[in-house]
């Protein structure tokens, strides 16, 4: 497939070839289910446009075939230095490094390395010269259980919809798995990796790039935030998919049973979930809309809205009495005027 990286759009035939060849060294199962990977190829095209800017002078591969060849070498567990040396004859150090970061980002859907041009605004995965890509991934994504939650269980109100409607948070949809569940902007913005189809595709490999159970746990975080059996959450999610061109597979991540909604069942995303849940619990409504959706404390919710109802009725009847009094004065004055005449 000696087709230029700068040629768009990518045909369906080329897409099938890329899926077959890009992760071939990972041992793709022949019984791989049919998955919707259109969202991944949107990402793939965006990365190609970004790295092949200025006529492709920043990278030393110009075709999909050459790109796949570098990816295959990476997946044979060659170190970054070894891959860089193999590219040395056709490029300088800078373009070789950029090419390797480019290939790594396509294999992982992660921001790999700090780029020498442009600004992505995403947190990078560091890949040192003496490491293979698998070693870099394992070093970055390690089980973390340093933080202790106030409550061991994640309640059913802890959904992405409620993070926005109740917690007042803004969701920033990301294609960088490194940023998943990360909070920013003084805990007012949460990043969510939405490419469920890509995650399911990674589950089909016999020698995956990611650590054991990492992909499964990441999918479970999506099940937690987007419960498939919650009609309000599904309706809200479909509007987000349409508005932001998200991976539609995120709406089919299933549901988590009560016993699986405990922090102890999350290792890789444990601390980020603890921080996110704490930020959600500590948030307070800042408007009537948030007060309406905030059912975390049912007693407080009923008390507030009863008070609002009493206040509204008091104002209404006070206004009625004022109008009635004004009308009586007016009629009395009018009657008195007739008697004088």
Q: Using the 8-state DSSP alphabet, how is residue 297 labeled?
A: S
How many other C-beta atoms are found inside a 10 Å radius of the C-beta of residue 24?
13
Is residue 297 over pLDDT 60?
Answer: no
> What pTM did the predictor assign?
0.83
- State the pLDDT at residue 283: 77
Q: How far apart are CA 27 and CA 207, in angstroms?
A: 6
- State the pLDDT at residue 338: 61
- State the pLDDT at residue 213: 93
Which of the two residues, 158 and 58, has the higher pLDDT score? 158
- Closest to 137 (Cα-Cα) out of 129, 151, 127: 127
Is residue 231 over pLDDT 70?
Answer: yes
| 212 Cβ neighbours under 8 A, 6+ residues apart | none
Strands of 183-184's sheet, edge to edge? Answer: 170-174, 189-193, 183-184
Q: What is the pLDDT of residues 189-211, one digit of tens each?
A: 999 999 999 999 999 998 999 99
Is residue 229 over pLDDT 80?
Answer: yes
Is residue 174 over pLDDT 80?
Answer: yes
- State the pLDDT at residue 165: 86
Q: What is the pLDDT of residues 82-99, one digit of tens each?
A: 999 888 765 688 889 999
Q: What is the pLDDT of residues 39-84, one digit of tens each?
A: 999 999 999 988 887 777 788 888 999 999 999 999 999 999 999 9
Is residue 117 over pLDDT 70?
Answer: no
Band of pLDDT at residue 251, cut at 50, 70 and 90: very high
Helix ranges restricted to H, the chain: 12-22, 38-51, 53-56, 64-75, 80-87, 93-108, 133-140, 160-165, 196-202, 214-225, 231-244, 270-282, 288-293, 298-340
| 120 Cβ neighbours under 8 A, 6+ residues apart | 111, 176
- How far is CA 43 from each of CA 107, 255, 267, 308, 324, rounded to the nearest angstrom? 11, 27, 27, 48, 67
- State the pLDDT at residue 288: 55
Band of pLDDT at residue 1, cut at 50, 70 and 90: low
Q: How far apart are CA 142 and CA 271, in angstroms?
A: 11
* Residues pairing with 171 in the sheet: 190
- State the pLDDT at residue 6: 81
Q: How far apart are CA 108 and CA 137, in angstroms?
A: 9
Count the alpha carbons within 13 Å of 48 in the hemisphere toward its beta carbon.
21
Band of pLDDT at residue 145, cut at 50, 70 and 90: confident
- State the pLDDT at residue 27: 85
Q: How far apart are CA 6 and CA 36, in angstroms?
A: 23
pLDDT mean over 169-190: 94
In the chain, pLDDT over 90 holds for what percent of residues?
Answer: 53
How many other C-beta atoms are found inside a 10 Å radius of the C-beta of residue 327?
10
What's the first-to-final CA gap in the chain, in angstroms? 104
How many other C-beta atoms are found inside a 10 Å radius of the C-beta of residue 210?
22
In the chain, pLDDT over 70 holds for what percent of residues?
Answer: 85
Q: What is the pLDDT of residues 299-339, one digit of tens each?
A: 555 565 566 667 677 777 678 778 777 777 777 776 766 65
pLDDT mean over 237-266: 94
Q: What is the average pLDDT value for the chain, to the nearest integer?
A: 86
- State the pLDDT at residue 40: 95
Band of pLDDT at residue 105, cut at 50, 70 and 90: very high
């Amino acid at each position: 497939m000696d087709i230029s990286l700068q040629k768009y759009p990518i045909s369906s035939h080329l897409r099938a070839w890329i899926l077959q060849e890009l992760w071939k060294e990972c041992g793709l199962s022949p019984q791989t289910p049919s998955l919707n990977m259109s969202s991944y190829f949107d990402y793939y095209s965006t990365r190609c446009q970004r790295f092949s800017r200025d006529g492709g002078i920043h990278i030393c591969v110009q075709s999909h075939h050459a790109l796949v060849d570098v990816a295959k070498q990476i997946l044979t567990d060659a170190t970054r230095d070894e891959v860089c040396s193999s590219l040395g004859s056709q490029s300088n150090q800078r373009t070789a490094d950029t090419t390797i970061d480019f290939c790594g980002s396509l294999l992982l859907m992660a921001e790999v390395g700090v780029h020498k041009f442009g600004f992505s605004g995403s947190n990078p995965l560091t890949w040192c010269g003496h490491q293979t890509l698998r070693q870099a991934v394992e070093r970055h994504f390690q089980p973390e259980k340093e933080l202790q939650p106030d409550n061991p269980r994640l309640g059913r109100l802890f959904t992405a919809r409620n993070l926005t409607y109740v917690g007042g948070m803004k969701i920033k949809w990301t294609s960088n798995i490194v940023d998943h569940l990360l909070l920013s902007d003084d805990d007012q913005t949460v990043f969510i990796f939405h490419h469920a189809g890509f995650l399911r595709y990674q589950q089909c490999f016999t020698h995956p790039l990611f650590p054991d159970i990492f992909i499964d746990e990441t999918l479970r975080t999506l099940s937690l935030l987007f419960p498939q059996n919650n009609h309000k959450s599904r309706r809200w999610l479909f509007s987000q998919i349409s508005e932001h061109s998200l991976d539609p597979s995120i709406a089919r991540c299933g549901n988590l049973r009560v016993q699986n909604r405990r922090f102890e069942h999350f290792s890789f995303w444990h601390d980020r979930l603890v921080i996110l849940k704490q930020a959600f619990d500590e948030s307070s409504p800042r408007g009537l809309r948030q007060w309406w959706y905030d059912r975390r404390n049912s007693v407080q919710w009923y008390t507030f809205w009863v008070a609002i109802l009493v206040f509204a009725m008091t104002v209404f009847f006070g206004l009625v009495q004022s109008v009635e009094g004004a009308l009586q004065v007016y009629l009395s004055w009018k009657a008195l005027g007739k008697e004088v005449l």
